[in-house]
Structure 1
């Protein structure tokens, strides 16, 4: 899922920087403009429905439903430490993503982009293997899962070098805050 989101951001930024758009017209942003961040937010909002449907000309799959083959998440928070491996995840809800704010920074040939998002609800299922500890007590588990998350707010932090008008994303970090989660 993170790969798909990174690709989405790279394509939107690349279209804005290059001012060549092989897709239906989207808002183009000039990096040195006073309202560059607002323009990027508008461009992302306009392009999002196209990415939800998928872009076969770029070998970009649809994001609804999102199919995530496998990945690992590490959680370190106070007394909780966990490593979770998820496979065969299928989720729904990304079309309802709201882009709250976009903030960019360009320094020493590194482009840094922060995108604040809100998603009303994501549902999904897959397989999980988890291990860790809570206040020193070990936790382990594996098996299929169903999940419903509501009112997610996430800051995506994406950065990497720019050379020849091409942004190479080297880091993607998402810090989600979930108001309600149900594991039926």
Structure 2
């Protein structure tokens, strides 16, 4: 899910590229217009299309599939604990998402934007190595994995504060929030360690049978990382392009 976040954030920021080249990418939306939310829905839709294969001139990677080289995770809570290194992860399906609604509140002293999305399916695959435990079970494993998530409903929430930098106003994003509701999730894994293959098979069966519980357990960890990664990536753009170019006042 952390990989999915990075993909989603680039889509959220699709409207930002309009300040660089409005004709080539997406429309710029007047933040004081009564139709600004409808304009932003269209902007996000076009941003998804523009970024599917990446935008080399702007340094934007392909978002479908999106590739993440490495991710380290450590988790301990109740009966479950583990350390995992995930590498060469590919996330597919974001360009099939539907933009349901956008709400913008862009003031002189504050910035807030919400985007409601629905994704029929998100597919992740990659490599993993690590160790974990569930009750008395202990597993050391490495191999390939894939996860299919279906019927995802979620809202991206970005909050920021305008600030003056070298005489120009920019927005510093201070937080990013997302809590996806997932209709179903199925995970498959291989294990190249023959000593723990049977335990891995059991762990995967338990995971798929109890994925909702495990998802809720992991969510606070994921949200903390989404916030850190999201604010960092967002500020690379929001602190580079002036506020009145990202969301101008025309009316």
Normalised by the shorter chain, which TM-score bucket? 0.7 to 0.9
Q: CA deviation at 1:159?
A: 2.0
| Structure 2 residue aligned with 1:173 | 177
The structure with more helix, counted as a fraction of residues: 2
- Of the structure 1 ranges 103-112 and 65-74, higher mean CA displacement relative to structure 2 is found in 65-74
Q: CA deviation at 1:65?
A: 1.1
Q: How many aligned positions are there?
A: 177
Larger C-alpha radius of gyration, 1 or 2?
Answer: 2
- Separation in 1, partners of 2:103, 2:11: 16
| Structure 1 residue aligned with 2:196 | none
Structure 2, gaps ≥5 residues long: 189-251
Contact 1:6 1:169 in 2 (8 A): no
User: Under a length normalisation based on structure 2, what TM-score does the superposition of the two structures give?
Assistant: 0.58
- Separation in 2, partners of 1:156, 1:81: 29
Partner SS for 1:29: coil
1:10-49 alignment runs, 5 A limit:
10-13=13-16, 15=18, 18=19, 21=21, 24=24, 26-49=26-49
Structure 1, gaps ≥5 residues long: none
- Separation in 2, partners of 1:177, 1:171: 20
- Separation in 2, partners of 1:40, 1:130: 44
> CA 1:11/1:73 → structure 2, altered by over 3 Å: closer, same or farther?
farther
- Separation in 2, partners of 1:47, 1:150: 22
The structure with more strand, counted as a fraction of residues: 1
| Structure 1 residue aligned with 2:235 | none
Contact 1:105 1:111 in 2 (8 A): yes
| Structure 1 residue aligned with 2:157 | 157
1:4-83 alignment runs, 5 A limit:
4-13=7-16, 15=18, 18=19, 21=21, 24=24, 26-71=26-71
Once superposed, what is the RMSD of the aligned Cα atoms? 3.3
| Structure 2 residue aligned with 1:101 | 101
- Separation in 2, partners of 1:29, 1:130: 49
| Structure 1 residue aligned with 2:244 | none
| Higher RCO (CA 8 Å, separation ≥ 6 residues) | 2
- Separation in 1, partners of 2:138, 2:114: 34
> CA 1:181/1:8 → structure 2, altered by over 3 Å: closer, same or farther?
closer
Partner SS for 1:57: helix
User: Under a length normalisation based on structure 1, what TM-score does the superposition of the two structures give?
Assistant: 0.76
Contact 1:85 1:130 in 2 (8 A): no
